[in-house]
Structure 1
Amino acid sequence: MTAPAPTLSTTRRPHIVWLDVMRLVAILMVVICHCTDPLNASAEARSNPDIGFWGAVWGAAVRACVPLFVMITGALLLPVRQEAGAFYKKRIPRVLWPFLIWSVLFNLAPWFIQWVGGSSALVTDFFPYAPDPSASLSDALRDVAMIPLAFTVYATPMWYIYLLVGLYLYMPIFSAWVTAASDKSKRLFLYLWGISLLLPYATYFISPNLLGVCSWNGFGTFYYFAGFNGYLLLGHMLSKGNDWPTGKIALLTVPMFSIGFLITFKGFRFMTADPNLTEAGFELFFTYCSINVVMMTAAVFLLVQKARIHSPRIVAMLANLTKCGLGIYLAHYFFIGPAYLATVALGLPAALRVPVAAAIVFSCTWTLIFLIYKLPKAKYIVG
């Protein structure tokens, strides 16, 4: 998702292969995550035990996907060693133009599919969270006009770009503290952030108005320690490495991931068993800034950090994946519905539909972005 940031000198940071492996893991997780949408968003998930079960299994297993991207960003870019203006000029346009192009394509797709003779059901096959898609060009253009302010169900993955731009805006300011703070102070910040990770459950099960939050104040006690900035700092801290052997890391991370997964999976199954489930309840245990997801994310990060790749061919492939990563993220959602339909047509059992669909989506999207990079000015299309 992000390339190494330049230092104040002309020397670039050394290439870090294990971070390329981390990107591969994160991208695969994102693709798998979205390949669960046709299962989890369907009415069949509530009536068919296999569909509901495997949608929950795969959805819970990959919740570390987006947090891993943020941790990679923190590992590479914190602390920012440029003036804020120079940093913004380098980072934001790289994601802004591709984001705008793909957002327009996603929001025009429902109208275009129906204009060429496709049904509204076909649109829903492409975009599982759009049960009643409009065939109106004016509605599509209205969605396009709203792109600077909001994403739609047709451009679901684009929410992350709004987040990423926000993190870029924040990073030069945050970096001043990161540079000056001791490791002890950074750990204290992460402890307080850890408390904030319990708030999604407290506000849902206890009261929405806790620790000073009320109808006229949305900024409670731990608000200033909450959010994805914690993942930025965690990535910065953990990227310094550790000298533990891989076996010892596995003894720590496997139970950590397993506990986080069980909380996420069991919690999601508990919530989706409620016939009166709200959208907020549906997403509750899938919330990225929650204690269970942090456990899984930190476990994956620490374990992948131990990856050592010696094959020049694999290193080159991983480097190409890094180059294509943003484009893969932006474009892959176009392939989700067709890939899932292919698994159904092949008669695959529910347990295999998500991983097979993910393999199709990943290979098709990587090929597409690889070919787009052969065009002139490709960076404006795929970053």
Structure 2
Amino acid sequence: MTGHSWAHMWYLYMLIGLYLITPIIKPFVTKASDKDWIAALVLMFVMSSLFPTMNAMGAGLTSWMIISTPYIFIYMLGYWLCWKAPQRIVGNRFALTGVILLCLTIIVAKCYYGFNYYGYADPVTICLAAALFLLFRSLNVNWNLANRLAPYCFGIYLIHPVFINFTYKFLNIDEGLVVPIHHFFIFFLLFTLLSLCGTCILMKIPFMKKHVL
């Protein structure tokens, strides 16, 4: 709120906003028909994901056509994917795997060749996240490792920039610009492991475990 926290803390403020707006959108969520859902999601996708991405590429669309924050759309999309997505989509693992591979190929190519990556609102990011969610939902696998790591996810999210900033400010390495692309994934795995270890240590402190993590 003061502008002095690290950039990834936006997520915490966005959560507060989504909680506040939930009572406003709940009547639509509970009463909308399947056709209403599809129409709303398509409209929000176009105005909050597709158009902003096209504008970032120089399309020059007028501002009234664009919803600058895609997070309400992503919030509602998550609900639809969890509770209302047709079984023919959820159960089609072959198609979902194809979408995932295609999205990953596009993302890797954009990173490798230095194209501007639009982030959370990018249609490729949204399609990848949706396909991954539906694929794992269809597998319905109870992974012991995932269950054991789940309590540490929020802590990993909170502290991972510590290691990114250390690498950037003290080692003069910008991991986001590292080429070839496999170096980027090495950094990703390294930062995840260090963040997991850091979270495990912090959770040994009763106050951190109870009130923060």
Shorter-chain TM-score bucket reads 0.7 to 0.9
Q: Which amino acid aligns with 1:230?
A: F
SS at match of 1:306: helix
1:332 equivalenced with 2:160 (yes/no): yes
Q: CA deviation at 1:338?
A: 5.6
Change in CA separation of 1:286 and 1:221 when aligned onto 2, cut-off 3 Å: closer
Q: Where does the alignment leave 5 or more consecutive residues of structure 1 unmatched?
A: 1-147, 214-219, 274-281, 344-348
1:367 aligns with 2:211: no
Q: 1:353 aligns with which of 170, 176, 183?
A: 183
Cα deviation for residue 236 of structure 1 reads 0.8
2-structure distance, mates of 1:308, 1:292: 24
Alignment of 1:309 onto 2:170: no
Q: Does the alignment pair 1:249 with 2:92?
A: yes
Indicate the structure whose relative CO is greater, using CA pairs within 8 Å and at least 6 residues apart: 1
What is the CA RMSD across the aligned residues, in angstroms? Answer: 3.3
For 2:189 and 2:59, the matched residues in 1 are separated by: 41
Could you tell me whether the CA contact under 8 Å between 1:151 and 1:158 is conserved in 2? no
Which amino acid in the other structure matches residue 160 of structure 1?
Y
CA 1:194–1:331 in structure 2 vs 1: closer, same or farther (change >3 Å)? same
State yes or no: 1:150 paired with 2:8.
Answer: no
> What is the CA deviation profile of residues 258-289 of structure 1, one whole-angstrom value per residue up to 9, with x for unaligned ones?
4434444555566x47xxxxxxxx3xx33321
Alignment partners' CA distance in 2, 1:242 and 1:258: 22
Asked whether the 8 Å contact 1:324–1:366 carries over to 2, the reply is yes
* 1:362/1:259 CA distance change after superposition, 3 Å: closer
Query: How far apart, CA to CA, are the structure 1 residues paired with 2:142 and 2:12?
Result: 33
Aligned pair partner of 2:46 in 184, 195, 205: 195
Paired with 2:76 and 2:167, the residues of 1 have a C-alpha distance of 36
1:223 aligned onto 2:74? no
Q: Which amino acid aligns with 1:194?
A: F
Q: Of 298, 302, 310, which aligns to 2:130?
A: 298
Give the paired residue count: 201
**d(CA) in 2 for partners of 1:250, 1:269:** 28
State the Cα distance separating 1:309 from its structure 2 match.
3.3
Q: CA deviation at 1:161?
A: 2.0
Using the TM superposition, give the Cα deviation of residue 331 of structure 1 relative to its aligned residue in structure 2, in angstroms. 0.6
**1:380 equivalenced with 2:211 (yes/no):** yes
In 2 relative to 1, CA 361–223 (structure 1 residues): closer, same or farther, beyond 3 Å? closer
Measure how far apart 1:190 and its partner are: 0.6
Q: Quote how far apart the aligned CAs of 1:201 are.
A: 3.4
2:28 counterpart residue number: 177
In structure 2, what is the Cα distance between the partners aligned to 1:310 and 1:268? Answer: 33
1:63 match: none
- Give CA deviations for 1:309-354 in whole Å, capped at 9, x if unaligned: 356xx1xx4334332221110011112356796x9xxxxx945433
The residue that corresponds to 2:12 in the other structure is 161
Amino acid across the alignment from 2:37: K
**Which amino acid in 2 is paired with 1:361?**
F
Shift of residue 243, structure 1, vs aligned partner: 4.2
Structure with the largest fraction of helix: 2
- Equivalent residue, structure 1, for 2:120: 288
SS at match of 1:377: helix
- Mapped to 2, the partners of 1:177 and 1:187 lie a distance apart of 12
Distance 2:45 2:11 in 1: 22
1:33-57 alpha-carbon deviations (Å, 9 max, x no partner)? xxxxxxxxxxxxxxxxxxxxxxxxx
CA distance in 2, matches of 1:333, 1:323: 19
1:238 aligned to 77, 81, 91, which one?
Answer: 81
- Residue 253 of structure 1 and its aligned partner are, at CA, apart by 1.7
Give the conservation status (yes or no) of the 8 Å contact 1:287–1:293: yes
Alpha-carbon separation, structure 2, partners of 1:338 and 1:368: 14
Q: Are 1:322 and 2:145 counterparts?
A: no
CA deviation after TM superposition for structure 1 residue 366, in Å: 1.8
State the one-letter code of the partner of 1:360. L
CA distance in structure 2 between the aligned counterparts of 1:296 and 1:200, rounded to whole angstroms: 18
Distance in structure 2 (CA, Å) of the matches to 1:372 and 1:191:
42
Matched, 1:206 2:59: yes
